[in-house]
Amino acid sequence: MKPSDTRKLASVDINLSVLGLGCAQMGHLSKRTPLAEAKDAAEAAWDLGIRYFDTAPFYGFTRSERRLGTLLDDRVRDDFRVSTKVGRLMIPERVYRETDEGFAFPAPFVQAYDYSYDAILKSFEASQQRLGLAMIDILYVHDIGAMTHGDRHGHYWSQLTAGGGFRALSELRADGRIRAFGIGVNECDVLRNTLDECDMDVAMLAGRYTLLEQDSHDLLDRCLSHGTRIVVAGAFNSGVLAGNNSFNYGEAPPEILRRVLALREAASEFEIPIQAAALQFPLAHPAVVSVVVGARNADQITHNAAWLEMEIPASFWQSLSKKGLIVDGAPLPE
């Protein structure tokens, strides 16, 4: 499989490269990313055939969108696909912070969650300005769900439903300002609820369908039958499958580390980098159209592309299945 290979959404004529570039690092995720490094990463991705770029107002508190818009400015618009997100309004505030929500030295804005009709339109129009795009291919509702909002989830869910948030997204799609919409989340329950609530085209699901976690395969089956396609993010589960001890944006618990160790040992038997298996596994599910990876520089995205292209024998996947490391019902790569 090559990064330049594409898969089509079911409900709209959009093809996404099977490997996408996630642009949180452009917003100084965890530490500063010099603009020159961000430029090198974007250019390396382009040279590899990657044509799908995902960002959000939240990433660097507007910095990622502004950078990505600049880096794509000389490209032919029909040659690439961009997704961004709504659900947070970025409010200018003259405040200096060394870090905020995991981003180093964020831009002078603070976030205000708002998923209502007016807020969706306002957030979208601000993203148009930052990206320099009149039309945005995919718009995700960002971080709706109890994982983010706790006991306030009901309030924000009501903004999307009774408050007209989903209606705003449908109108943006109907008049061509966006081509597709869905949600971008880290949890499965809210994806199930959204399938019941609206006619979404695609969902970005982070960390919940991976080499480490496959229990959501039945939910992906349901998405497939609904005509909703999946973009997988967090294929390394926050890094625990890529060599560190981070899982779900925190320290990995012992049971997760034991499962990762078993996966590493199984991969070692076949002399396969676990990162290669982690990138290729989700793409075996027919609902999945792309895997988005973050990259801080050209070397990182080049390594990800090489892992995606690596030949992995069917016997490896069958071995994982026999060892109980892939659950029954989850499709195996061929």
Residue by residue, DSSP assigns 161-210 as: TTTSHHHHHHHHHHTTSEEEEEEEES-SHHHHHHHHH---SEEEEESSSS
Q: How far is CA 291 from CA 71, 188, 209, in A?
A: 21, 17, 11
- pLDDT tens digit sequence for 43-74: 999 999 999 999 999 999 999 999 999 999 99
- pLDDT tens digit sequence for 219-248: 999 999 999 999 999 999 989 999 888 888
Q: Please say whether the beta carbons of 20 and 53 come within 8 A.
A: yes
Query: What topology does CATH give the domain 6-322?
Result: TIM Barrel (3.20.20)
Give the residue carrying structure tokens 């995606």: 308
Q: Nearest Cα to 56, choosing from 12, 99, 103, 10?
A: 103
Cα(307)–Cα(302) distance, integer angstroms: 9
Q: Which of 52, 54, 117, 137 is catalytic?
A: 54
Q: Please say whether the beta carbons of 52 and 180 come within 8 A.
A: no
The whole-number pLDDT of residue 293 equals 98
The values of phi and psi at residue 80, to 5°, are -145, 165
The values of phi and psi at residue 65, to 5°, are -60, -45
CA pseudo-torsion sign 247, 192, 166, 50? positive
Angle between helices 189-197 and 217-226 (to 10 degrees): 20
Which band of pLDDT confidence, cut at 50, 70 and 90, is reported for residue 178?
very high
Cα(59)–Cα(107) distance, integer angstroms: 10
- Name the 3-class secondary structure at 156: helix
The whole-number pLDDT of residue 246 equals 85
Q: Which of 59, 115, 117, 209 is catalytic?
A: 59
Cβ atoms within 10 A of the Cβ of 230, count?
Answer: 26
Mean pLDDT, the chain, as a whole number? 97
Structure tokens belonging to residue 167? 């209606």
Cα(282)–Cα(214) distance, integer angstroms: 9
Cα(37)–Cα(72) distance, integer angstroms: 15
Q: Which of 5, 8, 73, 85 is catalytic?
A: 85
Give the residue carrying structure tokens 């981070």: 246
In this prediction, what percent of the chain has a pLDDT beyond 70?
100
Question: Does residue 323 or residue 249 have the better pLDDT?
Answer: 323
Report which DSSP code applies to 30: S
Cα(104)–Cα(95) distance, integer angstroms: 14
pTM: 0.97
Whether the pLDDT of residue 282 is over 90: the answer is: yes
The whole-number pLDDT of residue 249 equals 83
Residue 59 annotated among the catalytic residues of the structure: yes
- Name the 3-class secondary structure at 291: strand
Cβ atoms within 10 A of the Cβ of 106, count?
Answer: 25
Cβ atoms within 10 A of the Cβ of 55, count?
Answer: 28
Question: Does residue 160 or residue 239 have the better pLDDT?
Answer: 160
